[in-house]
Amino acid sequence: MFGNLSDKFESALRKLSGQGKISESNVREAMEDVRTALLEADVHYEVAEQFIESVQQKALGQEVLAAVKPGEQMIKIVHDELVTLFGGQPIVDKEDAVRPEEPPLMYVDPGPTVIMMSGLQGSGKTTTCGKLAGYLKKRGKKVMLVAADLQRPAAVHQLEVLSKQVEDEVEGNGRVSFYSEPDKVAEYGKAVGAAVKVCRNAVEAGRKAAVDVVILDTAGRLHVNDSLMGELRQVASAVNPHQIMLVIDAMTGQDAVNSAKAFNEQLELDGVIITKFDSDTRGGAALSVKQITGKPIKFIGTGERIDALEEFHARRIAGRILGMGDVVSLVEKAQEQVSEEEAMALQEKMAKGKMTMDDFLVQLKRIRKMGSMKSLLGLLPGIGNQLKDLPIDDKQIDRTEAIIQSMTKEERGNEDELTNSRRRRIARGSGTDQRDVSQLVKGFEMVGTMSKQLSGMGGVSRMKALAG
């Protein structure tokens, strides 16, 4: 997402940044390029116009033309305008920089907080219900997933499978349960009020079971129509959800924005969740939806996996688009995988030179859980765009994992055991070359030596001191 737009923005702004002084016509020229880039990204025409108008006004009105570094000033203006476009708060003073952005979900006390999910068929609504349950489980919440999509009989089963998967696979202190009324599925197509009854009963059951959050997976249709909206309005007025979310598919571009507009006219939406952010769509839906509906994007779906859901942060995404990276998201992803105690324990082992291949394997698995190597590197400032054509290869991690898994327990604990004949056996077992095995061992030994040296120098505390 945004790859192409990012390139175009960068090249338009680069033209300005090279210059000591810029003129009004330079600014207008760059903005023409930006306008083309936005339209090519399938951004709604009016949104693009407004964006350009606003940037231009600020750029020409402020002292950009006389600024010492006009290019940087321009980037800041464009960045802030993107943040505003996404419904966020640009950083104006120091206080803003440390003030956290608004959290995507609000919880009521006493619970349960009722979240109603809506969206067209195929938008990824049911999958997102599961992902959201996982997100909440990680945060210690007791969640109930409710199958109220009685239009698509398979959806009930799909949600049940998902809720089991989240309960089994997502680590966290929360719990995820599933609620359905199988007999109501049989009423599919006949009784209009079936979904309403299911939702009402589910919220009551959730209250009794003292769950924190009830998520209602409501019905979708292929297109917006009166019967869908009627059903959703009935559910909404029957259970009075605390938040109504709309799930839209980024790949459907402006169609997604149009359907968001239609949903918003009929339901009081609180936020939008955009799925398939991982696809190479042009990004128009994400860039237009807030402006067109007035409702903010709360989460983005970044893959088919159950944990591929991220909070949407306007400033961070604006930074990604302008090639400024998104270190905050990277750190958060890492923190989700490793607790502080685990990190300290590992650090201690490394300092004593006691890290084993098994520890290394655990780390590799964590990195893989964080997403593809390329998407992680894309979050690093300044290099995201340059990396996109490089053959950075997740298979390398696969190979390393296979090699370690082909070692015996003793070999994993002590590299000295790895004689040539053993290396040959390991290579055969893992479908790699003996050279690959030796390279891994060598790299591993180097890390060991370096971490011992670092700890001898005062290690991490010293690094922290250096970092200021």
Query: Residue positions in the annotated binding site?
Result: 119-126, 217-221, 275-278
Q: Residue 287, CB half-sphere, CA atoms under 13 Å: how many?
A: 29
> Residue 275 interacts with ligand GDP (CB under 6 A)?
yes
Among residues 71, 119, 283, 284, the one that binds ligand GDP under rule CB under 6 A: 119
Considering the complex, state which of residue 273 and residue 287 has its C-beta at the smaller distance from ligand GDP: 273
Among residues 4, 54, 89, 121, the one that binds ligand GDP under rule CB under 6 A: 121
Question: How far apart are CB 309 and ligand GDP at their closest, in Å?
Answer: 8
Q: Which residue has its beta carbon closest to ligand GDP?
A: 301
Q: Tell me the binding residues for GTP.
A: 119-126, 217-221, 275-278
Tokens of 54: 């606003």
- Contact letters (x/-) for ligand GDP, 31-70, by CB under 6 A? ----------------------------------------
Name the segment binding ligand GDP (CB under 6 A); options: 43-51, 172-180, 301-309, 401-409: 301-309
Question: How far apart are CB 70 and ligand GDP at their closest, in Å?
Answer: 39
Task: Say if CB 148 and CB 114 are below 8 A apart.
Answer: no
Among residues 53, 304, 342, 417, the one that binds ligand GDP under rule CB under 6 A: 304
Q: Which residues contact 391 (CB under 8 A, 6 or more apart)?
A: none
Q: Which of 325, 328, 417 minimizes the C-alpha distance to 380?
A: 325
Question: How far apart are CB 319 and ligand GDP at their closest, in Å?
Answer: 21
> Residue 259 interacts with ligand GDP (CB under 6 A)?
no
> Residue 276 interacts with ligand GDP (CB under 6 A)?
yes
The b-or-e profile of 97-130 (16+ CB within 10 A means b, else e) is eeeeeeebbebeeebbbbbbbbbbbebbbbbbbb
Please give the Cα distance from 282 to 38 (Å, whole number): 9
Task: Say if CB 1 and CB 277 are below 8 A apart.
Answer: yes
Name the segment binding ligand GDP (CB under 6 A); options: 86-94, 122-130, 168-176, 289-297: 122-130
C-beta atoms surrounding 32 within 10 Å: 12
What's the CA dihedral at 151, 157, 160, 166 to 10 degrees? Answer: -100
Instruction: Report the DSSP beta bridge partners of residue 113.
Output: 213
Considering the complex, state which of residue 5 and residue 219 has its C-beta at the smaller distance from ligand GDP: 219
> Residue 308 interacts with ligand GDP (CB under 6 A)?
yes
> Residue 122 interacts with ligand GDP (CB under 6 A)?
yes
> Residue 126 interacts with ligand GDP (CB under 6 A)?
yes
> Residue 134 interacts with ligand GDP (CB under 6 A)?
no
Name the segment binding ligand GDP (CB under 6 A); options: 78-86, 206-214, 271-279, 327-335: 271-279
Among residues 180, 302, 400, 451, the one that binds ligand GDP under rule CB under 6 A: 302
What's the CA dihedral at 213, 218, 224, 225 to 10 degrees? Answer: -130
Question: How far apart are CB 170 and ligand GDP at their closest, in Å?
Answer: 16
Question: How far apart are CB 141 and ligand GDP at their closest, in Å?
Answer: 21
What are the helix (H) ranges across 139-175?
Answer: 153-169
Name the segment binding ligand GDP (CB under 6 A); options: 26-34, 275-283, 333-341, 411-419: 275-283
Please give the Cα distance from 157 to 190 (Å, whole number): 20
**Sheet containing 175-179: which strands, arranged edge to edge?**
175-179, 142-148, 213-218, 113-119, 243-249, 271-275, 297-301, 309-311
Please give the Cα distance from 124 to 146 (Å, whole number): 16
Question: How far apart are CB 332 and ligand GDP at their closest, in Å?
Answer: 18
Question: How far from each other are the two terminal CA atoms of the chain, in whole angstroms?
Answer: 35
State the residues that interact with ligand GDP by CB under 6 A. 119, 121-127, 155, 220, 275-276, 278-279, 301-304, 308
